[in-house]
Structure 1
Amino acid sequence: MDISIVIPVYNVQAYLGECIDSVLNQSKEAYEIILVDDGSTDQSGDICDDYSRKYKQIRTIHKKNEGLGFARNTGLENVTSDYVIFIDSDDYIDSDFLEEMQHIVDKGTYDTVKTGYRRVTLEGKCISNLGTTAEYFEDSDVKEKLLPRMIGSAPGTNDSIPMSACGTLYSIKIINQYSIRFVSERKWISEDMLFNIEYFSHAQKCAIDKYIGYNYRANNNSLTTKYVEDRFEKCCAMYQKEEEVLASIIPLELWQNRLDRQFMNYLRMCFSQLKKSVSRLDPSQAKKNIKEITDVSLVEKIIRAYPDKQLNIKQRGFVLMVRWKWNWLLYVMFCIFKIE
C-alpha cells in the first residue's frame, strides 16, 4: 500500500522544516511527498527546493497564489499512489502516523481512514487531544450514518466527527473516479466540508479510529479574532450550498438538524467578530449588524424550527435570544462579555 503526502505551502518558513521532517522520519516511508508552493513570498519556496534536491521522494511544484484548496488540487493532479493524506505546512505528524494508517487499512481493507488530532501551541506544546471512538462504516452506512455526523452533532448530543481533510487517508481511486476536487476557501468558508460531502457520498468502507498522531498547530488567526466584513453572507451561502448538495444524497431527516446546528455555530462566530477589539466598529454599528443578522429570513426559518428543548442551558439561551430578537442581549453577551 503506497501513501502520498500532499503539503500545500504558503509563507510558513518558521514551521515548514518541522512539517517535512516529521514525514521523512516515519517508521513507514511515504511513497512520495508533494510540496505545492502556492506563490510564497518568504523563504518557503526555497526550503521546498532544498528538500527536493536532497530527497528523491520529494517533489516541489511552484504555482501562482490561489489559496489552500486549489493548492491541494494541484497536489492531487500529481499523485501517483493508491492513497493520499493532506498535511498543512505548519502542522506535523507523529513518527508512527503512516504505519498506524496502514495498520488500520490492513485490518479491513478500508478505502478511507479518519483519526483524531492533537491541538498544539506554536511551540509544539499539547493543548488538547480531540479523539474519537473506533467505528467502522460500510456501504450505505457511510452516507447515512457517517456523513451526517461530519456535518455536526445532533441536538442534545456531541456525536460529531471531525470534518477536517488534514490527516485523513483518502482513496485516490475514488477521488479520480468521481473527479472530486476542493473548492476555493476564498469563496466558501469550509472547503474541507464540501470536499468531504462529495467524497463520503461515494466511499464504501471507512474506518474512524481513536489513534491520535496528527498535530494541529493552533494560531491566533482564528475565525473570531479576525474581522471579515462579509462573513455572515458567506455563512448563509455555505448553508444553502450544503443544503442543496445533501438533499441530492441522503434523506432530509438525517442531516437537517445537524446542518442547522452548524449554522448556529457560524452565527456565534459572526457575533463574536463584532466585538470592538476585533472589528473596530463602534457600538451603534455593531448593534445594527446584529439586528440585520437576526432579521434575515434564513436565520428566522432555522431558529424557529430548531428543537431547542434538547439543548443545554447555554445553547438554548443563544437560540432563544436569536429567535426572540433580543439583540441588545446578544450585543452584551458577545461584544461586552466576549462570549464565543
Structure 2
Amino acid sequence: MLKYSVIIPVYNVENYLPRCIDSLLAQNYADLEILLIDNGSEDQSGQICEDYANQFANIAAYHIPNKGVGSARNFGLTKSKGEFIYFVDADDYLVGNLFSDVESQLDSQLDLLVFSYYNSIEKNLSEITRSAKILPAEGKKDKSDFIGLFQELWLTDMMYTVWNKIYRREFLEEHQIVFESYDLGEDVRFNLNVFECVHTVSFSQTCYYVYVSGRTGSAMGQYNPNRMNYQLEELGKVDQLMTSWNIHDDQFIDQIKARILMSNIQNISKQKMSLSKKRYYVEVLCRNQEMIALLKKATSPLRPLVRRLLHFKMYLTVIF
C-alpha cells in the first residue's frame, strides 16, 4: 500500500501551481501519489495539471465541475490509495523533508499528525516577510493529553487548517469524516469532527509548509458578511466538544468571541469600500446577540477602550 496520498484542489492558480507541485517533487520521496483535482479552472491550471500528469507516473489529474474546495477534496478522497492523506492548497508550497521526516511516526495506531508552518506575505510571487507558527507541543499524545492541551492548541489558530495535518485514511473512513459544503470554514468543521473521534495525535514543532497570504483573488481576501455567523457556529461546535470532554470554559469561549469580532473588524477596515459601508458592516457585527452580550460584560476579554467605543457605537473610531 502507498504511504501517502497528496490531494490538491486546483482553481485558477496558474501562476502558483508549478511551484506547489515542484515543492512536492523536490521532497524526493517515492512512496506517494499526487492527485490534482482541477475544480473547473478558467485559466491554464487544468492544462498544467495534465502536463505534470503526463510527465510523472505518480501524478494524476482529474477535472470536475466547480462545487467548492470541499467537494474537490472529497473527490480526491474517493480516488486516493495512500495509507495517509495530506491536503495541500495549490497557492502554497512545502519546505524541508516532511514525508521522510514524519514517516516513522505514522503507523496504524496514529490517527493524526499536526506540524508547524510558516506564514508568508508575498507580492507577485516574491516573498516580503515570513514568520514561523510553532505548535506548543511535540511528540505523541493520547486522547486525555490532547484534551488537556486543547485550549492552548486552539488559541494558536493552528488547529483550523487542513494543510498542516496528515490524516490516517482508515480513521477518516471509519468515522465517515468528509468535507461538508459551506462558503467558509469547511476546514474547521472537518477538523472538529476529527478531534471529536481522534485517539492518538502526534505533534511536530518543525515547519514544513509555507502558507501564502496576500494573493489577489484568493477567497480570504474579500469580506463575506456571513463570515462571523459561520465562525460563531463553529465556536458553538467547539463549545459542544469541550462540554462533552468536561472542559467547558466560559472565559475561553468569550476570548475566542472577542478574537472573532476583532478579526472581522480588521478585515472590514482593510477592504476597498466606502467608510459608510465599513461603518455599516461593523454595526451589523455589533448587533449580533452574542456580541451585544460580550460588549456588556465588564470582564470581557476585549480591550477596555475598544469595548467602550463599540458599546457606544463609535464604530468609525474603531475602524481607524
Which position in structure 2 is the counterpart of 1:206?
A: 201
Give 3-state SS (helix, strand or coil) of 1:70's partner.
Answer: helix
TM-score by length of 1: 0.81
2:126 to 103, 118, 123: 123
Aligned identity (percent) is 22
Within a 5 Å distance, the mapping from 1:163-312 to structure 2 comes to 163-186=160-183, 189-220=184-215, 226-243=222-239, 245-246=240-241, 249-251=244-246, 253-254=248-249, 256-275=250-269, 278=271, 280-283=273-276, 285-304=277-296, 307-308=299-300
Give the C-alpha shift of residue 162 in structure 1.
3.7
**1:252 and 1:306 mapped to 2: Cα distance?**
23
Inter-partner Cα distance in structure 1 for 2:245 and 2:109? 25
- Cα separation, 2, equivalents of 1:28 and 1:42: 30
Instruction: Answer yes or no: is the 8 Å Cα contact 1:5–1:30 preserved in 2.
Output: no
Gaps of 5+ in 2: none
- Alignment length, in residue pairs? 314
Q: Deviations over 1:269-310 (max 9, x none)?
A: 3323444x7252343x544443443233221234445844xx
Distance 2:304 2:36 in 1: 45
Residue 290 of structure 1 aligns to which amino acid in structure 2?
A: V
The two structures, once aligned, show a CA RMSD in angstroms of 2.9
Q: Please report how far the alpha carbon of residue 331 of structure 1 lies from its aligned counterpart in structure 2 after TM superposition.
A: 2.0
Q: Structure 1 residues 220, 307: CA separation in 2 closer, same or farther (over 3 Å shift)? A: farther
Q: Which residue of 2 aligns with 1:140?
A: 144
Per the normalisation by structure 2, the TM-score is 0.86
2-structure distance, mates of 1:53, 1:39: 20
Alpha-carbon distance in 2 for matches of 1:246, 1:232: 20
Q: Which moved more, 1:288-297 or 1:7-16?
A: 288-297
Contact 1:22 1:94 in 2 (8 A): yes
Distance 1:32 1:225 in 2: 31
What is residue 317 of structure 2 aligned with on the other side? 332
Q: Quick check: 2:161–2:188 contact (8 Å CA) kept in 1?
A: yes
Deviations along 1:29-57, one digit per CA (max 9) or x if unpaired, are 24211111111111111111111112111
Question: Please, which runs of 5 or more residues in structure 1 have no aligned partner?
Answer: 154-158
SS of 2:46's equivalent in the other structure is helix
Secondary structure of residue in 1 paired with 2:15: coil
In structure 2, how many angstroms separate the alpha carbons of the residues matched to 1:164 and 1:224?
13
Q: CA 1:263/1:305 → structure 2, altered by over 3 Å: closer, same or farther? A: same
Q: Deviations over 1:156-184 (max 9, x none)?
A: xxx56443110311111110001101123
Tell me, yes or no, if the aligned pair for 1:92 and 1:215 is still in contact at 8 Å. yes
Name the SS for the 1:77 alignment partner.
helix
